[in-house]
């Protein structure tokens, strides 16, 4: 190609990047930092939901939920951080939305709520860019160790309770009679009873019952 009789030379420089190449950024997100934070998050959530929760409570459906929400929050917070400075309010907004969605389940007891909160915090914290990795490790360790001590009974060992959802085939109006019926049926002392629903047609009632268990 020529321009007024003078040759024009075009130089094209190409370079191919790989995901693990040092110094490669996706937006403002360093891939080495992303992989490091992802490993921290995966190790933390594995210890929390499998080593601590599942081995004691044996509810795989809850484990799937914890992991899904944790990874989702990690991914979203990391992606938003790569597009620019991440407002703290955005992170808390994501945390609140996922918490509401998760906790609307009728199967969520106080133990499940506690594990849900920690799983969400781990994902949010690990995914946030800009925080020193040592601080992330410290906070993640603090959360996991605290849940281990509390859930395994190292703290408050003498105060053990079990929460059970009970459906009775008759309606009992008097509280004392209800406590006596539950105690004789299950053979355990009743700490508290909460009424969930009453079906006058079927003559049934659904309760949340907290029993004392052996320490």
Report whether pLDDT(197) > 50.
yes
pTM above 0.85, yes or no: no
Q: What CA–CA distance (Å, rounded) separates 62 from 115?
A: 9
Domain match, 125 and 184 both: no
Neighbours of 142 (CB within 10 A): 10
Exposed e or buried b per residue across 150-187, where buried means at least 16 C-beta atoms within 10 angstroms of its C-beta: ebeeeeeeeeeeeeeeeebeeebeeeeebbeebeeeee
Q: Give the CA distances from residue 137 to residues 19, 24, 43, 80, 215, in Å, rounded to whole numbers and listed in that order.
A: 24, 24, 11, 21, 33
In this structure, are residues 69 and 113 in contact, taking their beta carbons and an 8 Å threshold?
no
Domain match, 70 and 98 both: yes
Residue 186, C-beta contacts closer than 8 angstroms, at least 6 positions apart: 164, 211
Nearest Cα to Cα of residue 52 among 145, 120, 163, 123: 145
Q: Calculate what percentage of the chain has a pLDDT beyond 90.
A: 26
Q: What CA–CA distance (Å, rounded) separates 127 from 153?
A: 30
Residue 201 lies in a domain: yes
H/E stretch holding 210 reads strand 204-212
Residue 188 lies in a domain: yes
The two structure tokens encoding residue 150: 């509390």
Residue 16 lies in a domain: no
pLDDT tens, residue by residue, 88-115: 666 667 667 666 665 555 556 778 888 9
pLDDT tens, residue by residue, 51-91: 999 888 778 888 998 999 899 989 988 888 776 665 566 66
Least confident range from 22-26, 75-79, 140-144: namely 22-26
Domain match, 128 and 188 both: no
Q: What CA–CA distance (Å, rounded) separates 212 from 202?
A: 30
Residue ranges making up the domain that contains 166: 161-212
The domain total for the chain is 2
Domain match, 67 and 144 both: yes
Residue 125 lies in a domain: yes
Residue 46 pLDDT class (50, 70, 90 cuts): very high
């Amino acid at each position: 190609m020529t321009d007024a009789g003078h040759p024009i030379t075009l130089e094209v420089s190409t370079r191919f990047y790989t995901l693990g190449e040092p110094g490669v950024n996706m937006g403002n997100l360093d891939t080495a930092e992303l992989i490091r934070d992802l490993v921290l998050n995966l190790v933390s959530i594995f210890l929390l939901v499998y080593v601590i929760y599942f081995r004691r409570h044996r509810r795989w459906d809850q484990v799937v939920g914890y992991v899904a929400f944790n990874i989702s929050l990690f991914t979203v917070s990391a992606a938003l951080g790569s597009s620019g400075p991440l407002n703290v309010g955005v992170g808390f907004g994501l945390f609140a939305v996922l918490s509401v969605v998760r906790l609307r389940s009728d199967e969520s007891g106080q133990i499940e709520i506690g594990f849900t909160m920690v799983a969400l915090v781990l994902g949010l914290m690990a995914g946030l860019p800009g925080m020193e990795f040592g601080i992330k490790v410290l906070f993640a360790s603090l959360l996991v160790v605290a849940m281990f001590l509390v859930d395994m009974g190292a703290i408050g060992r003498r105060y053990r309770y079990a929460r059970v959802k009970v459906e009775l085939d008759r309606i009992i109006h008097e509280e004392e009679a209800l406590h006596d019926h539950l105690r004789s049926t299950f053979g355990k002392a009743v700490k508290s009873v909460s009424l969930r629903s009453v079906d006058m047609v079927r003559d049934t009632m659904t309760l949340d019952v907290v029993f004392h268990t052996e320490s």
